[in-house]
Structure 1
Amino acid sequence: MTLFSKIIAGEIPSYKLAENDQFFAFLDIFPLREGHTLVVPKMEVDDFFDMPEPYLSGMLAFARPIAKAIEKAFDCNRCGLSVVGLEVPHAHLHLVPIDSSDDLNFTRPKLKLSPERLKAAQEKILRYL
């Protein structure tokens, strides 16, 4: 069972933003920028492009309202999207409020936000969902 499957199952607490039968979205607790969100399929699959086609298109449709909420909740140029797939062996995409492409640089140090700041970011996004 992957780390993300444990989060989906509620075995590990998370700052959940949205969920349906196929997908789960929650805040990254080590974000590139405040509001950085992970969208994961409930199906365990390591490589993003090994997901069945309905999951590939479904994941973007699921992520769209979350991305729009992030854009409204945070002062940013837009919500960037990235698929890296190296950190956790469970397909996922990153939604990050960005002002430039450098804001999606995963080699930069991650933020260390307090639980209170993470909760506040969750509430800001949920206000627009």
Structure 2
Amino acid sequence: MTGTFYCGKCGDLLFDSEGDTRRFVAAEHQPCPSCGGSGIRAEVTVEKKVTCFDQMSMKAKDARGTSSTMKVGGSLSVDGTVAHIEQVVDKRARTYKKKVTLTDGTVVKDVEGPLDDQSLHGPQKKDD
């Protein structure tokens, strides 16, 4: 956080901080040396890094109403870990595939097999 503080009356620069605005705010404020004004106009900049994730999901139904899904994209877990997820649930062929890769390239999950094998994934949802 950086801040620049000006006289509220004449606009002269009173203090320009490089990283710690608390030094100015905590100090006892003196009147402006140029005009004697006691008001302050502050311009404070706060920066925060923001990361965006995209995810694509597709769902298809065959003539019998059996649905299949595919999901691809990024995910952010509660602990802040970022991962790329590829998942295909093919209910017609009764297969399941999921691969989870961290941003450093570490593969944390790579499973493929029959959809009925509950060891591959969590509890099965009912057909839509």
TM (norm. structure 2) is: 0.23
**More helix by percentage:** 1
Query: Relative to total residues, which structure has the larger strand share, 1 or 2?
Result: 2
Q: Which has the larger radius of gyration?
A: 2
TM-score (norm 1): 0.23
Larger RCO (alpha carbons 8 Å, 6+ apart): 1
